[in-house]
C-alpha cells in the first residue's frame, strides 16, 4: 500500500482555467431583473468601462476592463413576466466580460431559472436544478469561466463588477446578490499549474520521463483506458498530454478524479537564450474536466464536482502535481527549479501535502479485481461464452461456438476480451484457476434466478413486455443484472429502484470495500434508461433503495434519484 508522508513548505500551484455552473436562489430572480434593467434601460444593451476595483491580492486595487453585452436565449418567459416574444427569441441573457491584471479574465453568462421552463420555439421542457426543489422554484444560473483566478475570486469579481455598472448607471445595487451559491452548483473544468525551468523539462517529457512512465504504467493493466498525445513542434515538449480517466487514476495515490497531465509551452516558443521572460519555461498542469477531451475521444470524468468541494478539488490537483514533480526526480520546494510568472509565484503552499512513493515501478493486480472488472465490461455474448464455459468446464472453442449459437470468430473475439479469466491451449478453453471457475459458477447460479424475477417485474413497472425489455432495453437489463437491481413503485406511484448490491458513498470507501461508487452506478442507470427510450422524469422523480458503505459502515438508505443525477 502506497502510504503518504505529509509535508509543509512545498511548492504552491496556481489556478489556470475554471468553468462552473453556479445557481443562486436566496433572492429568487431579483438579481436577474435588476441586471436586465441596467442592461436595457440604462446601457441600451451594451456597456464598456475601465475602472479600478478592489479585486487584487488582499483587496488591493486592480485596473480592470468591463464589458456588458447580451443575447436573446431560448427560454420562453412565463406569462406573468409580462414579456413579449416573437416566437424565435426568448428572455435576455446578459454576458459580462472582465479582464484584470496580466491574464486574469472572467466571463459570466447569466440566465433566469424557474420551474417548468420551456423552449420558446419548440415548447419542449428545459430542465434545471429548480424543477425538483420543493422549497425553491426560481433563481439565477451563472456559467462562470475564466483563467488565473482562484475559484472564490470569481464571485468577488462579479459582485464588484455589478456595483461598478450600477454606479455608472446611477442605480442602487443590492450587495446581498450572488453571495452563496446553492448546493446544486457544480465545477465542470478546473486546471492548476506549475512553471518549471526549461532545463528540467526532460525529466518530464523524455522517453524515461514521468509522462512516458505513466503511459507505460497502464499499458498492460486490464480494464484501463488512457491516451497519450504529443507535439514536439518547435521544441521537444511543446505539448505533451497524458489523459488519465477517473477509472485509471484510482491506481494513483491521493487522487479520485480523472485528470489530464500536461507539459506545454506557449504557442510562440521563446528562444533558449531568452532572459526576463517567464514564458521561456514550460508549464506543467493538471486538468480536471467533466466529459470528453478536446477531440471528443476519451471521457475524463462522468460527473462534475460540487462547488462546495472546490477546496478539496484544488488540494487534490495540487497534491497530484507536486507528486508528479517528485516522481520526476525534481525538487518540490520553492526555489531555482521553478520560474515565477504574473500568476505563479514560486512560493510555499499553505496546504499540507501528502507525498507518495513513485507508483510506476510496480502496480499490484489481484485476481479478484480482474474477475470483477471483466464481468462489468463483458457484453451479452461474452457473458454467454463465460457462462457456458462455467457450466461445461474445459471445452474446445468449436464446442463453445455451437453451444452459444455463435460463429467461431465471435467466440475468438470474446475469448480475447476474457483473457484474464480464460486461457486457450491447442483450441481447448479453460479457466486460469479452479478458484475462478468455482467463484463464477456460484455467481451465475445465484444471478440467474434473480435476473428472471427482476426482468418480469421491471417490464411490468416500465410498461414493456419482457421481450421488448431484452431488446430495446438491453443496456438497462444489463445494468439490472450487474447490480442485482429491481424496479417497484412507492405508495404514491413513484418509481422505486432497489439495488441489491453494496455500493460505496465515494471513491475512498470504494477503495476500502471494493464496492462500486454510488454516483457512478446511478449515472450508468440514467444512461441506460434514456437508451431504452424511457422518459427521464419518471426516473428523476423516483427514489433509490440501496445499502451504502460510508464512514459508519454499511447502512440501507433511501435517496431521491434527482439528488444523485446531475
* pLDDT tens digits for range 279-307: 999 999 999 999 876 666 678 888 999 99
Q: What is the pLDDT of residue 375?
A: 60
Radius of gyration of the chain (CA): 27
Q: What is the pLDDT of residue 17?
A: 97
Residue 109 above 80 pLDDT?
yes
Average pLDDT of the residues in 259-270: 92
User: What is the spatial distance between Cα 85 and Cα 279, in angstroms, rounded to a whole number?
Assistant: 49
Residues 6 or more apart whose Cβ sits within 8 Å of residue 366:
none
Least confident among 407-416, 433-442, 537-546: 433-442
Report the alpha-carbon angle 107-322-349, nearest 5: 70
User: What is the spatial distance between Cα 117 and Cα 119, in angstroms, rounded to a whole number?
Assistant: 7
This prediction has a pTM of 0.65
Q: How many CB atoms lie within 10 A of CB 425?
A: 8
Q: How far is CA 28 from the centre of its chain?
A: 28
Asked if residues 378 and 355 have their Cβ atoms less than 8 Å apart, the reply is: no
Q: What is the pLDDT of residues 318-373, one digit of tens each?
A: 999 999 999 999 999 999 999 999 999 999 999 999 998 877 764 433 334 455 55
Q: What is the pLDDT of residue 515?
A: 75
Q: What is the pLDDT of residue 249?
A: 66
User: What is the spatial distance between Cα 140 and Cα 30, in angstroms, rounded to a whole number?
Assistant: 9
Show the cell assigned to 310.
Answer: 472546490
Check residues 365 and 257 and name the one with the higher pLDDT. Answer: 257
Confidence band of 547 (pLDDT split at 50, 70, 90)? confident
Query: What are the φ/ψ torsions at residue 446 (nearest 5 degrees)?
Result: -70, -40
E-strand stretches of 73-154: 92-99, 105-114, 138-147
Q: How many CB atoms lie within 10 A of CB 553?
A: 9
Q: Does domain 366-432 have CATH number 1.10.240.10?
A: no
Task: State the average pLDDT for the chain.
Answer: 83
* Burial group, residue 41, by CB count within 10 angstroms (0-12, 13-18, 19+): exposed
Q: What percent of the chain shows pLDDT beyond 90?
A: 41
Q: What percent of the chain shows pLDDT beyond 70?
A: 80
Per residue, the 3-state secondary structure of 166-231, as one string, reads: HHHHCCCCCCCCCCCCCCCCEEEEEEEEEEECHHHCHHHHCCCCHHHHHHHHHHCCCCCCCEEEEE
* Burial group, residue 559, by CB count within 10 angstroms (0-12, 13-18, 19+): middle
Q: What is the pLDDT of residue 367?
A: 39
Q: What is the pLDDT of residues 139-160, one digit of tens each?
A: 999 999 999 999 999 999 999 9
Confidence band of 410 (pLDDT split at 50, 70, 90)? confident
Check residues 218 and 464 and name the one with the higher pLDDT. Answer: 218
Residue 7 above 50 pLDDT?
yes
Report the alpha-carbon angle 294-295-299, nearest 5: 75
Q: What is the pLDDT of residue 361?
A: 61
Positions of CATH 1.10.10.10 in the chain: 366-432
Confidence band of 37 (pLDDT split at 50, 70, 90)? very high
SS3 content of the chain, % helix, strand, coil (to 5): 35, 25, 40
Show the cell assigned to 473.
Answer: 432495453
Dihedral over alpha carbons 492, 495, 500, 506 (to 10 degrees): -110
Least confident among 221-225, 290-294, 537-541: 221-225
Q: For strand 395-396 and strand 428-431, is the pairing parallel, antiparallel, or unpaired?
A: antiparallel
Q: What is the pLDDT of residue 449?
A: 43
Check residues 552 and 507 and name the one with the higher pLDDT. Answer: 507
Average pLDDT of the residues in 511-515: 69
Amino acid at each position: 500500500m502506497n502510504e503518504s508522508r505529509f509535508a509543509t513548505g512545498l511548492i504552491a500551484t496556481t489556478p489556470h482555467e475554471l468553468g462552473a455552473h453556479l445557481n443562486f436562489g436566496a433572492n429568487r430572480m431579483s438579481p436577474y431583473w435588476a441586471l436586465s434593467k441596467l442592461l436595457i434601460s440604462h446601457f441600451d444593451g451594451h456597456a464598456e468601462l475601465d475602472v479600478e476595483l478592489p479585486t487584487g491580492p488582499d483587496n488591493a486595487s486592480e485596473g480592470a476592463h468591463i464589458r456588458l453585452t447580451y443575447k436573446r436565449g431560448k427560454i420562453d418567459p412565463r406569462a406573468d413576466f409580462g414579456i413579449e416574444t416573437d416566437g424565435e427569441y426568448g428572455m435576455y441573457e446578459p454576458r459580462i466580460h472582465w479582464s484584470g491584471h496580466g491574464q486574469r479574465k472572467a466571463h459570466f453568462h447569466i440566465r433566469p431559472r424557474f420551474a417548468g421552463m420551456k423552449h420558446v420555439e419548440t415548447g419542449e421542457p428545459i430542465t434545471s436544478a429548480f424543477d425538483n426543489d420543493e422549497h425553491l422554484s426560481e433563481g439565477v444560473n451563472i456559467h462562470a469561466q475564466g483563467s488565473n483566478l482562484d475559484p472564490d475570486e470569481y464571485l468577488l469579481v462579479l459582485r464588484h463588477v455589478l456595483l461598478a455598472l450600477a454606479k455608472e448607471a446611477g442605480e442602487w445595487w443590492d450587495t446581498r446578490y450572488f453571495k452563496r451559491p446553492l448546493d446544486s452548483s457544480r465545477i465542470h473544468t478546473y486546471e492548476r499549474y506549475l512553471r518549471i525551468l526549461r532545463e528540467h523539462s526532460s525529466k518530464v517529457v523524455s522517453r524515461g520521463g514521468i509522462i512516458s512512465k505513466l503511459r507505460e504504467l497502464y499499458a498492460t493493466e486490464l480494464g484501463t483506458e488512457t491516451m497519450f498525445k504529443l507535439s514536439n513542434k518547435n521544441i521537444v515538449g511543446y505539448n505533451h498530454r497524458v489523459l488519465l480517466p477517473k477509472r485509471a487514476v484510482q491506481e494513483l495515490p491521493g487522487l479520485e478524479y480523472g485528470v489530464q497531465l500536461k507539459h506545454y509551452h506557449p504557442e510562440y516558443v521563446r528562444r533558449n537564450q531568452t532572459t526576463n521572460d517567464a514564458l521561456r519555461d514550460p508549464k506543467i498542469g493538471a486538468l480536471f474536466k467533466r466529459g470528453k477531451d478536446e477531440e471528443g475521444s476519451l471521457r475524463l470524468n462522468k460527473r462534475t464536482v460540487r462547488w462546495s468541494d472546490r477546496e478539496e478539488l484544488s488540494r487534490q490537483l495540487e497534491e497530484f502535481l507536486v507528486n508528479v514533480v517528485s516522481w520526476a526526480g525534481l525538487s518540490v520546494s520553492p526555489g531555482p527549479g521553478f520560474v515565477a510568472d504574473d500568476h505563479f509565484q514560486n512560493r510555499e503552499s499553505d496546504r499540507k501535502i501528502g507525498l507518495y512513493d513513485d507508483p510506476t515501478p510496480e502496480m499490484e493486480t489481484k485476481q479478484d479485481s480482474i474477475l470483477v472488472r471483466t464481468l462489468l465490461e463483458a457484453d451479452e455474448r461474452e457473458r454467454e461464452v463465460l457462462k457456458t464455459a462455467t457450466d461445461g468446464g474445459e471445452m474446445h472453442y468449436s464446442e463453445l461456438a455451437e453451444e452459444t449459437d455463435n460463429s467461431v470468430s465471435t467466440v475468438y473475439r470474446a475469448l480475447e476480451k476474457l483473457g484474464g479469466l480464460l486461457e486457450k491451449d491447442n483450441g481447448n478453453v479453460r479457466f486460469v484457476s479452479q478458484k475462478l471457475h468455482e467463484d463464477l459458477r456460484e455467481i451465475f447460479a445465484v444471478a440467474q434466478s434473480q435476473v428472471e424475477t427482476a426482468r418480469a417485474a421491471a417490464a411490468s413497472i416500465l410498461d414493456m413486455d419482457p421481450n421488448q425489455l431484452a431488446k430495446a432495453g438491453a443496456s438497462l437489463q444489463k445494468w439490472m443484472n450487474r447490480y442485482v437491481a429491481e424496479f417497484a413503485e412507492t405508495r404514491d406511484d413513484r418509481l422505486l429502484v432497489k439495488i441489491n448490491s453494496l455500493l460505496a458513498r465515494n471513491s475512498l470507501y470504494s477503495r476500502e470495500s471494493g464496492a462500486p461508487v454510488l454516483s457512478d452506478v446511478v449515472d450508468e442507470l440514467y444512461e441506460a434508461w434514456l437508451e431504452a427510450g424511457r422518459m427521464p422524469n419518471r426516473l428523476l422523480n423516483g427514489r433509490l433503495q440501496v445499502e451504502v458503505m460510508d464512514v459508519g459502515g454499511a447502512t440501507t438508505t433511501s435517496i431521491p434519484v434527482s439528488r444523485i443525477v446531475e
